[in-house]
Every structure is written in structure tokens, then in C-alpha cells.
Amino acid sequence: MNCAKLPVALLLLPGIGGVSGACGSPPEDQPDPLEGVALVSGSSLERYGLLVIPRDGGVAQFRSIESPSAVRWTGRLSLGSVTAAHSLGSAVVLQRGRRLHLYATSPVEAETPLPDAPAAGRWIPSPSGGAFVSGERILAITATRTAEVSAGGAVHWAAPAAGDRVVALVEGAGGPELAVWEAGESQPAATRTIGTSGPVALAGWGRTIVTASEDGRGLTEWSIPELEAAEGAEIGGAPSALAISPSQHRVFAASPDRPGFTVIDRYDWREVGSSRVEAPLETLRPGMTGDRLVAWDGSKAWSARAGEAGLNAVPGEWRADLPLALPGGAVLVSTESGLGLLRPDGDVTAVEGPPDAWWLPFRWGRRLPVASAAVVPEDTLEDAEEALDALADSVPPGRIGLLTVGRTSNRSPQILGDPVPGDPLQELPAGYYAVAQSSRQLGTLGQRRELLDGPGYSTHVLRRMDAAGDIWYRLLVGPYETRPEAERASLELRRERGIDAWIHEEGGPAVRRDP
């Protein structure tokens, strides 16, 4: 491995300032991939939705993933016109020419300046964030960090990876090379000549890279940062497009030698399904919950359930953001008559919303969107209740509460909804949970909770007392409706995160645990 082949200059920006406003063999008891509701948050999709960014200025909206016409939150920050918007999962990159800003809704709604995009830069999305590339330049962006790399050859592909690394496929002196830069280093930690210029996909939560194989007939997975070949699969031809499911279990690969796409299990590298279409596919776009994806053959869009043979034509235009597969087999599309929701039976129902806006998959933070109605001190309790009633059509059931400040004559205040992030719960919804950590010290759970919140796990901290009267804090993932679902989540935590989780069952509507 020759690290001198790619002279680079790297600037790592550890923070973003100026706010304005596992690779390896699977266990023998490997479960089926988590998909749909079970993938994203157990029994609830509340934290997942669509962030709508207006192109010509205005405020953002957070809409339901299951019913895109329903607005769950409206921002207050005027965003101005944008030429492009790119989702980072829990944040968005707003592009105005070469000027970039990071837009976040939590803990407060704000825009933060980022380094300018390279001239004529193209955006490459990835599970860990994304990168702008142009010529020899790379600007890698996540929700928390940016890194700029200037390589000694044309960049075919790049992405931010786990451990604050940057990975890229670069045209080196001996042909296309994979390269890995460690955080803060000015030279690549590893390079590897692979003989193919693409396509490339980041997998394993940013810990592996998938490329075409050396013989051009299949796929190879490379470890990060060592760039050692780990696994591979034959797909019957050279890949023209690659994508990874949100659960990181599956690789979707399209090949012009085998029109359609093949679904590969990333843990044992066997084919688990395929779909065929007359024209070769150029782009694959998995849905937010992994149970369906959409594909583009250069002139027409298609939709398919992952692992099934059938492909269905998708009406409307192909955009950077749409069409987008949603839970339940629906696809959000943009047609001449406006936005629509393509149902599995082929019917298209109208979606109320701006058709020229950017509709981006988005994951809300720990605290769910809050709507509020202000009342002045002289208002009565009845006035406040009327104001809350006005919110009922736009706020999900169970998300509305009344908080009174001061004294009331004969009523106690109601406080409903999520606690302040980080506070331990004393009651939980009924269901099954995977216990990711247990500790006598609440502060020791923070790092692991951030690790799990990043890829989208729904986490909770529960305070409990043992038989000896000692207080313990449990970091829980869930809830899940059945024990097998929780066990699959526990196995995924062990396989992907090295976390030996066990199952906690919470019975009844809510069980009170007093310290």
C-alpha cells in the first residue's frame, strides 16, 4: 500500500461555528433485516418525516411520513431562496450557488455557515452524510463536522465515514484508487488500487466500502480504514448503480448485463432477490424504511418492493428528491398536475403542498415537534382549552397538553409529551425494549445514547430501583410490539455496534416506577 501516491492537503474543521438565528461474518442466529416501522423506531414513526424546504424563500415544514399532506411543524426562520437542498438525516445542507449553510431544527431552529462548495461541485449522498466533489477537491459534510480534502487526482466518489474519516475513489498514478484519510491527518492512512472507477457505496454505518469486483462481474466489500477485501458476491455483470438499505443489511446492485437490480444480503453475500426491467438502471434510491426502493433507467422511473421480482412504473419526473418510497408501499411523486401519492394498487391521490419545494427525508431529534398556543395572564382556563382545541387538527394525538403557570383554583395542570432530552423516564409505554446499557451514573449513558440516536434508534432512559434500594439508569431502545422484534434489534446492536443488549418488558399501559 503506497501512501505517497496521493499527495493531499486536508483541513479538518472540528466544529461548525457562527450560528445565525462491522464488517465480518454474521452470527449464526442472524435475523431477517429490519424493515418498515420495525427498522426506524419500533412501533412509532413519529420521529421520521419529510422536511419541506421552499425553493423561493419561506419557512420549512415537517410533514408526516405516512400522510405527506399533514403538517406536523412549521418553522419560524425565513430561509431565503435556495438552489438545492441535501438531507443529512437530522439536518439539511442548504445551497445557494456555492454558498452553503447547515439548517437544523434541534435543539433550536438555526442556519450555520459552512465552507463554500467547490466550483462546479456535484453532491454525492451517503448514509453518513454527503460530499461535494469537483476535480481534485472534496468537501465532506455530516450534521456535526466538515472536512476539506485536495487530492492529487480526479475524484470519482467521496464520503464522510465513521471515526470522522474521509474516504474517496481517486484517479491515481496507477489507476483508480480507494483512499482513507484519518481525522486531522494531511496524508491518506491507506490507499488501494482497485481497477474500477465506480460505482461505489458506503456501508456498515460508514465502516466499509462496496465497489465493483476486480473481474467486473460482481461486488467487493472493503474494510475501513485498512482497505482490505472482506467479502464479495457475483451479480452476473459489472454494476452500473449501487445502494445500501437503511438497515445496512442489504446491497442493491444494478447491471447493464442483467437489466434490473439484484438484492444481496451484506452479511453472507448471497442473493436474496432480483427485479428485471427492459432498460438498464442508472440510479437506485432506497426508501426511508428500506422495504421499497425506486429506480431510474434514464427515461422512466420504477418502484419495487425490496427482494421481490415485480417492478411498477412510476409516473412523473425524476428529481434530486423525488420520487421517494414511503412506508406501506406508497411513493411520493411529482407530476404535471402536482404532487401525488402513488398507492400499491396504482391509484394516485393528490398531496397538498408546494410541488416546487424540496421534499427531503428527515429524522427529528429526541424531542418531538411541539406546537403551542399562547394565552395571556388574564385569560381563563377555558380560553386556554379553546386554544388547544384549535391545534388538534395539526398535532398527533397524545402530543397536546396544557401547562398552567401560577395558581389555579380547582384544577391541576396537565403536562403531556416527551420529557426534556436527557431526563430519565419514570414510566414507559407498554412493549418490549432492548437494554443497551445500565449504570448507577446517569452521565455515563450519554455517549452511547448519542451513538444510537445518530443512525435513528429510538432511545429512552429509565430510572429504576433494585431490591437493595439502589438507583439504576437503563438506556433502552424501542418500544417493540413483540419480543421477537426486540430480540432482532438486540442482535443488530450486537452485530453492528458491539453492544450486548438484553430484553426488558414493560407491561400494561404504563408502569410507574418510583425511586
For 511, residues 6+ apart whose C-beta sits below 8 A from its C-beta are 427, 428, 430
Taking only the tens place, the pLDDT of each residue in 444-485 is 888 888 888 767 788 888 887 777 777 888 899 888 878 888
**Best CA proximity match to 258, nearest among 270, 244, 241:** 241
Question: Could you give all domains of the chain from N- to C-terminal order, each with its CATH number?
Answer: 9-363 (2.130.10.10), 418-510 (3.30.70.1070)
| Residue 296 one-letter amino acid | W
Higher pLDDT, 10 or 222: 222
**Best CA proximity match to 50, nearest among 410, 381, 343, 325:** 325
Do residues 325 and 342 make contact, with C-beta atoms less than 8 angstroms apart? no
Count of CA atoms in the C-beta half-sphere (13 A) of 407: 1
What is the band of 382 on the pLDDT scale with cuts at 50, 70, 90?
Answer: low
Taking all residues of the chain, what is their mean pLDDT, rounded to a whole number? 78
For 182, residues 6+ apart whose C-beta sits below 8 A from its C-beta are 163, 164, 165, 189, 225
pLDDT of 177 reads 95
Average pLDDT over residues 104-108: 80
Q: Is the pLDDT of residue 371 over 50?
A: no
Higher pLDDT, 185 or 125: 125
Do residues 286 and 293 make contact, with C-beta atoms less than 8 angstroms apart? yes
| C-alpha distances in Å from residue 6, one per residue of 141, 152, 177, 214 | 21, 5, 9, 21
**Best CA proximity match to 460, nearest among 419, 501, 496:** 419
| C-alpha distances in Å from residue 255, one per residue of 252, 258, 275, 297, 467 | 10, 5, 11, 11, 60
Average pLDDT over residues 266-286: 84
pLDDT of 506 reads 79
Q: Which DSSP helix (H) or strand (E) runs through 450?
A: helix 446-453
DSSP code at position 417 = S
Average pLDDT over residues 288-307: 83
Higher pLDDT, 466 or 486: 486
Do residues 233 and 248 make contact, with C-beta atoms less than 8 angstroms apart? no
Higher pLDDT, 470 or 155: 155
pLDDT of 17 reads 40
Average pLDDT over residues 88-99: 94
pLDDT of 367 reads 52
Q: Is the pLDDT of residue 34 over 60?
A: no
Between CA 17 and CA 21, with CA 19 as vertex, the angle to 5 degrees is 180
Q: Is the pLDDT of residue 19 over 70?
A: no
DSSP code at position 111 = E
> How many helices (H) does the chain have, and how many strands (E)?
4, 37
What is the band of 378 on the pLDDT scale with cuts at 50, 70, 90?
Answer: very low
pLDDT of 443 reads 79
pLDDT of 376 reads 42
